[in-house]
């Protein structure tokens, strides 16, 4: 009986020891899981914080670039307006100078336009008369030179063979064209 009780007591102690060890292992496992969860949450928070900071930096950089671009556009606009203002002032000064140094001193716009119309009308009438005179003189010269060419051409052609005369007439064609060109050039120079 004593041996049996001893065996049962030892078996009970071993069982209790195993249960204690098992409970300790479970508590260690739970502690490890808890620590791992805490670590994971910390890492997640850190990652989110870094992403947020990066996003803020990116937005600040974008805002700075946009501000710089707006400032540059504003400077260019101011520069353009200053150039336009200077150009307008220069044009006004030139206009006042031209009015000051016109033929009749400071002339009113109505009298200025009338004088300009009279001047152009007189120029046109004289140029038309000159043109008619030069055209008549040119026509006389051209007709006399053409008559000379035709007369000398006929005498020569009568002495030449048909092939030679066709070659010569082809060679003479540009000369007549150049005479026509000189006539048109003379009329243009008279204009």
pLDDT of residue 29: 94
Whether residue 106 has pLDDT greater than 50? no
List pLDDT tens digits, range 27-63: 999 999 999 999 999 999 999 999 999 999 999 999 9
pLDDT tier at 110 (50, 70, 90 boundaries)?
A: very low
Mean pLDDT of 154-171: 64
pLDDT of residue 107: 44
What percentage of the chain exceeds 90 in pLDDT?
42
CA distance readout (Å), 142 to 49, 156, 182, 187: 100, 21, 10, 13
pLDDT of residue 190: 60
Whether residue 64 has pLDDT greater than 90? yes
Report how far residue 108's alpha carbon sits from residue 106's, in angstroms, rounded to the nearest whole number.
Answer: 7
Highest mean pLDDT among 36-40, 99-103, 153-157: 36-40
Q: Which pairs from 175-183 meet CB under 8 Å and 24+ separation?
A: 175/149, 176/146, 176/149, 179/142, 179/145, 179/146, 183/138, 183/139, 183/142
For residues 107 and 99, the answer to whether their CB atoms sit within 8 Å is yes
pLDDT of residue 141: 59
Q: Identify the weakest region by mean pLDDT among 11-25, 70-84, 149-163, 175-189.
A: 149-163
pLDDT of residue 136: 62
pLDDT tier at 100 (50, 70, 90 boundaries)?
A: confident
């Amino acid at each position: 009986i004593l041996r049996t009780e001893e065996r049962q007591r030892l078996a009970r102690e071993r069982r209790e020891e195993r249960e204690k060890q098992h409970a300790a292992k479970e508590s260690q496992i739970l502690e490890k899981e808890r620590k791992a969860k805490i670590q994971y949450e910390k890492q997640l928070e850190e990652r989110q914080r870094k992403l947020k900071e990066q996003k803020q930096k990116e937005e600040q950089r974008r805002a700075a670039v946009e501000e710089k671009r707006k400032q540059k556009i504003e400077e260019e606009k101011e520069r353009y307006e200053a150039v336009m203002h200077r150009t307008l002032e220069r044009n006004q000064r030139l206009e006042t100078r031209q009015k000051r140094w016109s033929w009749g001193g400071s002339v009113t716009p109505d009298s200025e336009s009338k004088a300009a119309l009279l001047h152009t009308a007189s120029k046109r009438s004289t140029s038309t008369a000159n043109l008619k005179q030069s055209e008549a003189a040119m026509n006389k010269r051209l007709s006399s030179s053409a008559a000379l060419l035709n007369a000398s051409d006929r005498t020569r052609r009568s002495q030449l063979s048909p092939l030679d005369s066709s070659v010569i007439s082809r060679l003479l064609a540009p000369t007549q064209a150049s005479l026509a060109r000189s006539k048109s050039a003379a009329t243009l120079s008279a204009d």
